[in-house]
Amino acid sequence: MKTIKDMPEHSRPREKLRERGASALTDEELVTAILGMGTAGVDVRTIARQVAGLIREHKSGLTLDHLQAIPGIGLAKAAQIISAFELTRRYLLKDTIKITVAQDILPMVADIAGKQQEYFICISLNGVNEVIEKRVVTIGLLDKSPVHPREVFADVIADRAAAVIFAHNHPSGDLQPSEADRHIHDQLTEAGRILGIRVLDQVIVTRKGYFSFQEAGLIRS
């Protein structure tokens, strides 16, 4: 593989950034621009490819330990990347969303209210009920969307979340929870209890409005 010095100047990540802007760079090129150079025996582009893979895998859960497991990445280079993440989190990411009542999540799930398939959404939250991530867990046919606790909680655990809120739509327009909805809710609540992750609410949305398990007194502690 060619090293950075072997590449035409206009193709080198930092020069490319200067000429075309950061948005023109691939993930690997952005990491290369941060690191600058590799180490003896390990080219920076080889390192950057592995780092970019870890970033895609762990996202906000990326740690120094993850990075330092890559050959050629010591504390200094790992700290450069983690520090870049932290500055982005502090100044560039959208404002933190804090959930206090069911209506607070409605803007986040408005996109599924009129869908003709049933979408099951999981929203993970930290210890003070701030949103960490929103994910589509399953997309079903009509009103049948099979949900398994393993699929729901895998990413929630990776988020180090303290709590979750579930939401799904009813293509039929009926806001009342079905027996299947109640059964899934009981399964997920029990799985959350075992994992130490609180289920704060399960919300059903349609074009007509919403139904909150918490507001209806259906949340089991």
The number of beta carbons lying within 10 Å of the beta carbon of residue 91 is 7
When the candidates are 2.60.260.20, 3.30.530.20, 3.40.140.10, 3.40.50.720, the CATH number that belongs to 102-212 is 3.40.140.10
Distances (CA, A) of 67 to 25, 46, 160, 161: 21, 13, 19, 22
Q: What is the pLDDT averaged over residues 85-100?
A: 77
The predicted-structure confidence for 144-195, as pLDDT tens digits, reads as follows: 557 889 889 999 998 899 999 999 999 999 999 999 899 999 999 999 999 9
The full set of domain ranges for the chain reads 4-91, 102-212
For residue 203, what is the enclosing H or E element? strand 198-206
| 25-83 pLDDT tens trace | 889 999 999 998 888 788 888 999 999 999 989 887 889 999 999 999 999 999 999 99
**End-to-end alpha-carbon separation of the chain, Å?**
57
